[in-house]
C-alpha cells in the first residue's frame, strides 16, 4: 500500500515500468535524473553489484542522467586512508564516466547528448572526499569531454569554499579545451543525522544552526555560480521548491546573461527595445548554462508553472525495485522531515496566496536571508585540530553536567594528517627499536628482575613492538608494602583534592593523546 501511495515520488526501477515513465516525461520536454535507492554497503560484493546496476542504467536509451553516491561505490571508505579511498572510488567512478561518454541520449527536440553522471553529497564527513574524487577522476586521460556534476549542500558553511575551489579547477579544465562541469546547489537533507552524530561524538553541528543562514548561503552560492566569469566553466543546477529562491535565480540568471553577453562583446546579439538581449538569445543562454531542478512527484503544480518559463528542467527521481522498497523508507522520512519544517516553503505551498499571512511570513524569511547573504559565515563549524595543545575544559558545576571528551574528528583534513604522523612515528619503533617498558614502584621507574616478555604487533606477525621484564617476588612484595604505607597519602585526601588530581591526570592524557593512540595501535 505504501508503495502505491508513494508511486508518484518513488519510481519503479523495473526496466519496463521505469522506461514508460521516462518516455512520458521526455514527451513533456522534462529531463530526468534517476537515483537508484539503496542502504549502506555491507561489503565489496554488494559494491560491485551496485556498480553493475548503474552501468546497466546508463545503457538504457531512456536514461539521460543518473545520480550516484560514493558510499554506493565502495564499502571500505575511510578518511584515515584518504588517498587509497579516493583512488579506489575514482577507479569505479571512471567506469561510469566512460560508460556515459560512450552512450548518447536523444532529447525530445531530437538533439543527441552524452549521458550525464551526478555525484550526490551525503554527510559532512564525505564532502571534501567527494570533491576530491570528482576532481581526480575527471583529471584522468580520456575523460576530458565527460558530462559530470556534483551536488553541494548550502546548509554546510564551507560548501561555499568547495564551490570556489571547484570553480578555479574547472576554469583551468575549460581553458585546456575540456568540458565544463555542473554544480547542483541544494539546501541539504541530512540535518537530523548531522545533529545525532554531533551529539554522540561531542562535536559542533556541521550545518548552520539557523535556517536563515542556510538560505543566505544558498543565495550566496547562486550569486557566485552565476557570475559571468564562472557560469561558462561551471554550469549551475538550481535545486529548490522554494518559489522565492527559484524567482531569485531566474531574475539573477537573466541579469547575468545580459552582463555575460555584453562582456563577451557578442556582435551577433540583437538588442530589444529595453536595451537587453532579445528573449530567444537570453533563453538559449539560460538553457545552456543554468538548469532548474526539482524532486519528482513533489509539488507538481510548481514544476508545471516553472516549465512554462524555462525549458531546462531536471527532475530528481529516486527509484527502487518492488523487493527493495524498504530502501525507500529512509528517503521518504528525510523528505517528510524536511518538507514539514515550520519554515519550509513546501509546508505552505498548497495554501499560500499572495499577501496572505503565510506569504508574508515566507517573504520575510526570504528578505532576511537576502539581507545577510554576503555576511554569513563560510568557516567550517567543526574546527578541531589535534596538532594544537588541548585546552583545559571548564569544570562542570555538578557531576550531572559532565560533558565527555569529544572524539577525534578524522573527517577533517588536519586530523587526518595528525593520524598519519602518529603512524609514521610509531611504525619504526619495533624489533631493535622496540619500546622498553619499565616497572613503576613507589613512583620510581625500575627494571624488572623476572622473566622477559615481548609484545608483538598483531598486524605484523613476528614484529616486536615492546619489551618488559616482569617483576620478581621481591619487587612484588616491595610494591605491596608501598601501597600499604601510602606515602602519597591518597587515602587521606578528600573528594575535592582527588578531583583536582584526576583533572590534572585527564589533562595529561589529553596532551599525550597521540602517544596513547600510537601505543594502542602498536599492540593492536
CATH code where residue 268 lies: 3.20.20.220
User: What is the tens place of the pLDDT at every residue in 233-258?
Assistant: 999 999 999 999 999 998 888 877 66
The cell for 442 is: 613507589
Residue 388, in any domain of the structure: no
Give the model's pLDDT for residue 285.
Answer: 58
Give the model's pLDDT for residue 349.
Answer: 74
Residue 377, in any domain of the structure: no
Give the model's pLDDT for residue 275.
Answer: 42
Residues 432, 343 share a domain: no
Residues 63, 117 share a domain: yes
CA dist list (Å): 145 to 94, 116, 122, 314, 348: 13, 11, 26, 21, 42
Give the model's pLDDT for residue 326.
Answer: 84
Whole-prediction pTM: 0.88
CA–CA separation, 3 and 318 (whole Å): 13
Q: Which long-range contacts (CB under 8 A, 24 or more apart) does 275-284 make?
A: 282/254, 282/257, 282/258, 283/310, 283/311
**How buried is residue 109: exposed, middle or buried, by Cβ count under 10 Å (0-12/13-18/19+)?**
exposed
Residues 276, 312 share a domain: yes
User: What is the tens place of the pLDDT at every residue in 185-212?
Assistant: 999 988 989 999 999 999 999 999 999 9
Residues 424, 332 share a domain: no
Is the dihedral angle over the CA atoms 49, 51, 57, 60 positive or is it negative? negative
Is the dihedral angle over the CA atoms 235, 240, 244, 247 positive or is it negative? positive
Comparing C-alpha atoms, which of 88, 232, 215 is closest to residue 155? 215
> What phi and psi values does residue 268 have, to the nearest 5 degrees?
-90, 0
Comparing C-alpha atoms, which of 382, 366, 379, 360 is closest to residue 216? 366
Residue ranges of the chain whose pLDDT lies below 50: 263-278, 280, 283
Residues 426, 362 share a domain: no
CA–CA separation, 433 and 357 (whole Å): 74
Secondary structure, 3-state, 148-167 = EEEEEECCCCCHHHHHHHHH
Residues 164, 68 share a domain: yes
Residues 412, 295 share a domain: no
| Number of domains making up the chain | 2
Within 10 angstroms of residue 234's Cβ, the number of other Cβ atoms is 26
* 357-371 helix and 243-263 helix, angle to the nearest 10 degrees: 40
Structural domain harbouring 183 = 2-371
Residues 235, 324 share a domain: yes
Amino acid at each position: 500500500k505504501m508503495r502505491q501511495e508513494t508511486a508518484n515520488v518513488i519510481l519503479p526501477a523495473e526496466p519496463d515500468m521505469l522506461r514508460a515513465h521516462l518516455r512520458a516525461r521526455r514527451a513533456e520536454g522534462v529531463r530526468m535524473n534517476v537515483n537508484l535507492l539503496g542502504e549502506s554497503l555491507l561489503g565489496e560484493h554488494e559494491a560491485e553489484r551496485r556498480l553493475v546496476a548503474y552501468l546497466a542504467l546508463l545503457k538504457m536509451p531512456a536514461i539521460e542522467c543518473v545520480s550516484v553516491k560514493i558510499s554506493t561505490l565502495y564499502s571500505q571508505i575511510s578518511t584515515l586512508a584518504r588517498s587509497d579511498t579516493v583512488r579506489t572510488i575514482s577507479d569505479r567512478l571512471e567506469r561510469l564516466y566512460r560508460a556515459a561518454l560512450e552512450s548518447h541520449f536523444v532529447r525530445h527536440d531530437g538533439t543527441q547528448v552524452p549521458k550525464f553522471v551526478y555525484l550526490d553529497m551525503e554527510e559532512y564527513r564525505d564532502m571534501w572526499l567527494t570533491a576530491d574524487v570528482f576532481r581526480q577522476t575527471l583529471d584522468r586521460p580520456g575523460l576530458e569531454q565527460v558530462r559530470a556534476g556534483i551536488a553541494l549542500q548550502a546548509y554546510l558553511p564551507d560548501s561555499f569554499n568547495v564551490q570556489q575551489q571547484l570553480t578555479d579547477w574547472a576554469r583551468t579544465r575549460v581553458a585546456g579545451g575540456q568540458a565544463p562541469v555542473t554544480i547542483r546547489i541544494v539546501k541539504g537533507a541530512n540535518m537530523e543525522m548531522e545533529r545525532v552524530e554531533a551529539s554522540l561524538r561531542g562535536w559542533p553541528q556541521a550545518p548552520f544552526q539557523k535556517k536563515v543562514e542556510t538560505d543566505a548561503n544558498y543565495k550566496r552560492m547562486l550569486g557566485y555560480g552565476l557570475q559571468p566569469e564562472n557560469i561558462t566553466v561551471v554550469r549551475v543546477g538550481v535545486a529548490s521548491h522554494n518559489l522565492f529562491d527559484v524567482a531569485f535565480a531566474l531574475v539573477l540568471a537573466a541579469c547575468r546573461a545580459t552582463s555575460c553577453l555584453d562582456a563577451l562583446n557578442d556582435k551577433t546579439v540583437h538588442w530589444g527595445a529595453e536595451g537587453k538581449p532579445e528573449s530567444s538569445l537570453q533563453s538559449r543562454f539560460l538553457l545552456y548554462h543554468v538548469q532548474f531542478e526539482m524532486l519528482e512527484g513533489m509539488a507538481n503544480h510548481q514544476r508545471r508553472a516553472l516549465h512554462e518559463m524555462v525549458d531546462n528542467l531536471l527532475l530528481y527521481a529516486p527509484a527502487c525495485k518492488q523487493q527493495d522498497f524498504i530502501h525507500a523508507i529512509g528517503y521518504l522520512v528525510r523528505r517528510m522531515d524536511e518538507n514539514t519544517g515550520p519554515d519550509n516553503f513546501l509546508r505552505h505551498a498548497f495554501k499560500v496566496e499572495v499577501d496572505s499571512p503565510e506569504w508574508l511570513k515566507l517573504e520575510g524569511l526570504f528578505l532576511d536571508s537576502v539581507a545577510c547573504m554576503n555576511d554569513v559565515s563560510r568557516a567550517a563549524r567543526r574546527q578541531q585540530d589535534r596538532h594544537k595543545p588541548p585546552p583545559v575544559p571548564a569544570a562542570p558545576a555538578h557531576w550531572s553536567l559532565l560533558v565527555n571528551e569529544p572524539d577525534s574528528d578524522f573527517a577533517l583534513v588536519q586530523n587526518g594528517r595528525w593520524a598519519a604522523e602518529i603512524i609514521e612515528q610509531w611504525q619504526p619503533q619495533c624489533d631493535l627499536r622496540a619500546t622498553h617498558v619499565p616497572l613503576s614502584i613507589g613512583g620510581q621507574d625500575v627494571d624488572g628482575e623476572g622473566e622477559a616478555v615481548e609484545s608483538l604487533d598483531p598486524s605484523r606477525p613476528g614484529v616486536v613492538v615492546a619489551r618488559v621484564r616482569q617483576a620478581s617476588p621481591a619487587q612484588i612484595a616491595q610494591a605491596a608494602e608501598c601501597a600499604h604505607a601510602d606515602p602519597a597519602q591518597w587515602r587521606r585526601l578528600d573528594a575535592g583534592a582527588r578531583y583536582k588530581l584526576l583533572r590534572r591526570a585527564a589533562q595529561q592524557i589529553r596532551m599525550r593523546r597521540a602517544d596513547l593512540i600510537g601505543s594502542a595501535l602498536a599492540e593492536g
